Structure 1
């Protein structure tokens, strides 16, 4: 009887140890990520598989997943505003690139360090350029931006108190409104803006003003409501991100995806259908 009890106790101890180890190794073998689909060369819809996102951010995330032994699928979930909602609600685990803001901290954990620093600029109609040397010159004018977009906490706070910004679901709409004279300027990141304006045939009609309104770090984030959000995963993501950024890998991936985007556009691949404004 004593031996039987001892064996049961030992078996229970072994089971508990194995369970603890399994928990420490992460409870999810698959993660789902999403992000801004109008963000080349960082992120855009795959012409060959429109349900997925590709780009420098996606490549980095896929590599991190491979090193952790976790499959990470980067899916298109709609416009940038919808992508953020998917992470906020827990339907999607990760955002493949977001600026750090106070509202987002309420529903996402940020993985440090940032893997890119990207400048955001003022886009204007080339025929309607106005004097600009800083934020104050945007007052008394109407600007355009994407729904739920951010340019860093400092600028966001200033814009909320001082600027008139109209939000639309897509950059295509924002640029169209600008060229139609319905807005005076559009706020968006420089490199994705150039890539998309060129694809839309609008680049020659647009101009960017200096200096940038902000230059913000781009982070990987993990939703608070993700079933996979645990200490092990947060720690491993931060460890791998630190290693890869120190090795200069994000910049390598960025240059590779700049060329990838250019090649795709030169092949005149028809863009995947966009979802309607109701999203």
Structure 2
């Protein structure tokens, strides 16, 4: 996010693709992920430019056939307190940082809720600061985004990512089934 606008590869692709179709994409930040999904469901927002596809979301939105990107969520830890991520059991009794509203899928969400101590914050800057201060054991974020933020915050010498991803999957455009632009969906697949 830059000012109030969503930026990045998915934003650029959406602007280019829909621009070629004669439409301008408004890339305004509408709030946390959960609110965004609710707004897609209600039709208040037409397009989510970067979303995992799952059965729940397919009930209220249509996904592009071609993925826009691939995302790999990784576990970020302090270098001095690094532990191997070998599966969800590696997170048992750990203090794990997540941004409010972020879901990693039912299996991981349930495991974290039942076996870990999940600490939620409004942004990754706060979570990485907590990690550096040893208030939490790890932060979960997309590998590339996490590395970019570590560089931005000057923490890339203190914090590293586990080599094994927690979640790896493709990201798609998803269009609200309530959108008046839903007929464009077949042009974006």
Q: TM-score normalized by structure 2?
A: 0.86
Higher Rg: 1
CA distance in 2, matches of 1:178, 1:77: 28
How do 1:30-179 residues align onto structure 2 when only pairs under 5 Å count?
Answer: 44-45=1-2, 50-152=3-105, 154-156=107-109, 158-179=111-132
Per-residue deviation at 1:52? 2.3
Q: 2:145 aligns with which of 186, 192, 204?
A: 192
Which SS does the other structure have where 2:101 is aligned?
coil
Per-residue deviation at 1:190? 0.5
List alignment gaps of at least 5 residues for structure 1. 1-43, 239-279
Tell me which residue corresponds to 1:261. Answer: none
Tell me which residue corresponds to 1:277. Answer: none
Change (3 A) 1:138 1:57: same
| Contact in 2 for aligned 1:81/1:169 (Cα 8 Å) | no
Per-residue deviation at 1:63? 1.4
Greater helix content: 1
Residue 213, structure 1, aligned to residue 182, structure 2: no
Per-residue deviation at 1:211? 0.7
| Contact in 1 for aligned 2:43/2:176 (Cα 8 Å) | yes
Tell me which residue corresponds to 1:236. Answer: 187
Tell me which residue corresponds to 2:155. Answer: 202
Greater RCO structure (CA 8 Å; 6+ sep): 2
CA distance in 2, matches of 1:118, 1:63: 21
CA distance in 2, matches of 1:85, 1:172: 25
Per-residue deviation at 1:78? 3.8
Per-residue deviation at 1:85? 4.2
Instruction: List per-residue Cα deviations over 1:64-118 (Å, max 9, x = no partner).
Output: 1122222222122344444444434432211110122344334332222212112
CA distance in 1, matches of 2:101, 2:110: 13
Coordinate RMSD, CA, aligned: 2.3
Number of residue pairs aligned between Structure 1 and Structure 2: 189
Q: TM-score normalized by structure 1?
A: 0.60
List alignment gaps of at least 5 residues for structure 2. none
Instruction: List per-residue Cα deviations over 1:204-251 (Å, max 9, x = no partner).
Output: 11011121112111111112343x253x2221222xxxxxxxxxxxxx
CA distance in 2, matches of 1:89, 1:179: 40
| Contact in 2 for aligned 1:133/1:210 (Cα 8 Å) | no
